Structure 1
Amino acid sequence: MPPADIPPFEAAITGIGMVTSAGIGTETSWENIRAAEGTAAARLPALEGIPADVACGIPDFDAAKIIGRRKAWRLDRNAQLALASAAEAIADSGLDWQSWDGARVGVIMGTGVGGTATWEKQVQVRLEKGPEKVSAMLVPSLIVNMTSGHIAMEYGARGPNFVTASACASGTSALGAARDLLRNGTCDIVIAGGAEAALSPTLIAGFDQMGTLSRRRDEPTAASRPFDVDRDGFVPAEGAAVLILEHPEHARARGARIRANIRGYGASADAYNATAPDPEGAGAELALRAALRDAGVTPQEVGHVNAHGTSTKLNDLTESKMIRRVLGDHPAVTSVKGVTGHALGAAGAIEAAVTALTLESGQIPPTANLESLDPEIELDVVAKAPRTAGVEVAVSNSFGFGGQNAILLMTRA
């Protein structure tokens, strides 16, 4: 957070790209998130034998068609999703990447676990065929930094380039770091967001063994139900979202359309437990109050919260109590995970993109599958249908294993 005598800084969002289980492309994802007719969740054959075999994949994503067959062959799916989202975001921004000063363009992406599909496949290759058959592309496909690396190589972005790995807060952490690069003058443009494609059987089995996943196998599209009294765990998903952030002077100088702004960022640690949130939400509260201070905004000014809202018993209750304690009961709250599922390290980026679209459109999407609000959750949770509201200030919450907390405060352009 800057010293008190430094005015708040607004990073302009000038482009958005999304590939989610709600749809390929921003327009389709946004339309289906607003419709909130349940998730694209299904029982995946690849997860057969795992009690929680429900997940939100993107079956219609054709990487070869979108990014080219040669690139698709070389990349893990998480990098494929990242490149597809980045291409849409850059096109949406109106920037000409072939003429920009690449030294002033950074790339910061959030990824929770990296190329798990590649890792799992190559472990089988080694066990069945021997080490000499392991792919030479294993390491560059596996390591988490390659989502940012491939975007930089594709678009000649030679500024700071790294990945944030703060579990399910990774995408939000990336956007917060990107804003700092603009505020301190290091970059004019930052390509930032998150990508994750971690629906590999071993990882999902690990989550299931922890008891965090929904086992609503008989009704998979209703399995992700944030804030509902009958929620029983999250539904894992794959997906990506990329936002183009620009220094406001740079955006104005080229006459860019500004879709929304990132004005505040707060991060903290629970320092409590590897997997469970602090039951009082103390760490999350630190992050939210830091974002408010950073933005110079009072709690009363926040009109909307895009909640982390995972559909787990612990998160939803802890988060709701923290929101009410800090912001009161006046903000309209929603969780998009009822539609998108939980895309782990990409979730925060997807939800930041949705928050920007909410501010731009004046439409708050509902929380899908919310049939009966948990009576312990004393918030104004939007359900059943979109709500029209002229929101000027919104926050987007993300929390992750390890007690990682990251929150963005965003404003209408």
Structure 2
Amino acid sequence: MASIATTCSSGLISRRKQSSNNGSSMPQFHGLKAMETNHVAASSAFNWSASTSASEFRAIKAMAVSAPKRETDPKKRVVITGMGLVSVFGNDVNTFYDSLLEGKSGITLIDRFDASDFTVRFAGQIRDFSSVGYIDGKNDRRLDDCWRYCLVAGKKALEDASLTQDVLETMDRTRIGVLVGSGMGGLTAFSSGVEALIQKGFKKITPFFIPYSITNMGSALLAIDTGLMGPNYSISTACATANYCFFNAANHIRRGDADIMVAGGTEAAVNATGVGGFIACRALSQRNDEPHRASRPWDQNRDGFVIGEGSGVLVMESLEHAMKRGANIIAEYLGGGITCDAHHMTDPRKDGLGVSTCIAKCLEDSGVSPEEVNYVNCHATSTLAGDLAEVNAIKKIFKDTSGIKMNGTKSMIGHGLGAAGGLEAIACVKAITTGWLHPTINQDNLEPAVDIDTVPNVKKQHEVNVAISNSFGFGGHNSVVAFAPFKP
């Protein structure tokens, strides 16, 4: 097919184009999917005929954009009733966000393994992690950190939602699912197994090598420990993983597959294999003399991302179910979108088309107009190409960015890979509930092309109307989710 020019001003409906040669109508495009000229997607809530004039269609289009409809059915509205995490700032949600508001950096020199010969010797490494009260000692010693983080974050999220084990035992646990993904899985377990094979032979491989390496095990172990028998699997879309999990978890609730989903991401790749692998990709900052200043989204002197780790988990619940059990509703999940750049394994599209289309799909799924969004928690990894591609995409969707603020959580905690979206979703929800946005630190020389408020270096008070959180991963995977204050 010849090249297609797509316009994404609203992200909801593309304008009908007339051929300059013969006046016949051309196919209409919704995102990248061709539709017949006499039909508009059902989500636009109206039909138009082939005889509709261009001026009439523009008026109809404007009406559709200005009055999107949010979900009203309490069975399909999805709310957040619990949050749990493991981070460089500890395992407490409030401590985590307070540290972000203070502009603290969690990036330090690596001491988990000997990185003295590595060209990158720092990371967002978690220290003094404790699983006491959440994992029994025998299992704790065997588990890969990826699953330890998942179990602690998941159980803390359930606790926060007042879904302790004694409460869960009174509920229909076939209606409660788990969807916690990981980009890399049990990387330490995998590396140790391969090392044992090479050095000692296959008979010395632990029987836990495969179970603790595969990416689904976080969801499985959390379900085994809590008895949750609903939809249970993992998604692995690199650094877009957690948002993919939120999107799919919400859809399970909306379809009626579950009343509650425990969803998010987990990762533990701060080891020799993980760090060495990303060094080989030439993706990491090499600012070894100032680790705390290495992650600097949108700064002209950025030189790559900083690898991090952790887990971020939300309890997502239908509004109807949450109200019936008297749950504390923290915020509302409005919707999400997922797309692929279909461009390159590691590099983003410079025009940001995959990302802008993803944002548009998120807004459509959420029933939100671009004008309603006033906060973007950006993917913002601190890479040369990625930071600007994301800003270009944001500008395509939000024509007036004067009221929008955006920030980069990774400036303080590094890039948590599959866990990143989980931790950043919690940052979004805390921004909604506290009215404060954390800063993007290390913002010394802002890129001239970035003319949106990045909350540089110091926190800002901001009443969030609608927040979106962006996550993108190797392979061109894009995922965007939207949150808002809960209003009955």
Shorter-normalised TM range: over 0.9
Preserved CA contact (<8 Å) 1:111 1:196: yes
- Cross-structure match for 1:344: 417
Report whether the alignment pairs 1:389 with 2:462: yes
Task: Tell me the distance in 2 between the aligned counterparts of 1:97 and 1:77.
Answer: 26
Greater displacement, 142-151 / 58-67 = 58-67
Report whether the alignment pairs 1:98 with 2:166: no
Equivalent residues in 2 for 1:29-178, closer than 5 Å? 29-44=96-111, 45-63=113-131, 66-95=134-163, 96-178=167-249
| Aligned residue identity for 1:401 | F
| Aligned residue identity for 1:214 | S
Return the offset for 1:64. 5.3
Preserved CA contact (<8 Å) 1:285 1:326: yes
| Aligned residue identity for 1:79 | W
Greater displacement, 97-106 / 266-275 = 97-106
Preserved CA contact (<8 Å) 1:25 1:85: no
| Aligned residue identity for 1:248 | L
Report whether the alignment pairs 1:264 with 2:323: no
Q: Larger Cα Rg: Structure 1 or Structure 2?
A: 2
Deviations 1:193-225 (A, max 9, x none): 100001121232121122110000000111111
Return the offset for 1:3. 4.3
Return the offset for 1:326. 1.1
| Aligned residue identity for 2:301 | D
Work out which structure has the larger RCO, using CA pairs closer than 8 Å and 6 or more positions apart in sequence: 1
Task: Tell me the distance in 2 between the aligned counterparts of 1:290 and 1:111.
Answer: 24
Return the offset for 1:145. 0.3
Task: Tell me the distance in 2 between the aligned counterparts of 1:65 and 1:311.
Answer: 37
Return the offset for 1:252. 1.1
Determine helix, strand or coil for the equivalent of 1:67.
coil
Determine helix, strand or coil for the equivalent of 1:28.
helix
- Cross-structure match for 2:4: none
Determine helix, strand or coil for the equivalent of 1:180.
helix
Identity, % of aligned positions: 34
Residue 13 (structure 1) aligned to one of 80, 83, 105: 80
Return the offset for 1:409. 1.0
- Cross-structure match for 1:411: 484
Return the offset for 1:372. 2.2
Q: How many residues are treated as equivalent by the alignment?
A: 413
Residue 90 (structure 2) aligned to one of 15, 19, 23: 23
Task: Tell me the distance in 2 between the aligned counterparts of 1:361 and 1:3.
Answer: 37
Deviations 1:365-390 (A, max 9, x none): 11122222111222111122221111
Equivalent residues in 2 for 1:166-205, closer than 5 Å? 166-205=237-276
| Aligned residue identity for 2:339 | S
Report whether the alignment pairs 1:331 with 2:404: yes
Preserved CA contact (<8 Å) 2:134 2:151: no
| Aligned residue identity for 1:347 | A
Could you list the runs of 5+ residues in structure 1 that have no partner in the other structure? none
Greater displacement, 100-109 / 7-16 = 7-16
Could you list the runs of 5+ residues in structure 2 that have no partner in the other structure? 1-11, 13-40, 46-68
Preserved CA contact (<8 Å) 1:64 1:72: no
Determine helix, strand or coil for the equivalent of 1:61.
coil
Equivalent residues in 2 for 1:167-246, closer than 5 Å? 167-246=238-317
Greater displacement, 306-315 / 370-379 = 370-379
Task: Tell me the distance in 1 between the aligned counterparts of 2:212 and 2:409.
Answer: 29
Task: Tell me the distance in 2 between the aligned counterparts of 1:312 and 1:7.
Answer: 35
Task: Tell me the distance in 2 between the aligned counterparts of 1:370 and 1:351.
Answer: 19
Question: Are the structure 2 counterparts of residues 66 and 7 from structure 1 closer, same or farther at C-alpha, using a change threshold of 3 Å?
Answer: closer
Task: Tell me the distance in 2 between the aligned counterparts of 1:48 and 1:104.
Answer: 50
Return the offset for 1:63. 3.4
- Cross-structure match for 1:287: 358
Return the offset for 1:400. 0.4
RMSD (Å) for aligned C-alpha atoms: 1.6
Task: Tell me the distance in 1 between the aligned counterparts of 2:115 and 2:176.
Answer: 40
Task: Tell me the distance in 2 between the aligned counterparts of 1:117 and 1:199.
Answer: 9
Deviations 1:33-90 (A, max 9, x none): 1111223332344333220121111111033564221121232110100000011101
Determine helix, strand or coil for the equivalent of 1:278.
coil
Greater displacement, 234-243 / 323-332 = 323-332
Task: Tell me the distance in 2 between the aligned counterparts of 1:200 and 1:181.
Answer: 35
TM norm structure 2: 0.82
| Aligned residue identity for 2:365 | D
Greater displacement, 29-38 / 393-402 = 29-38
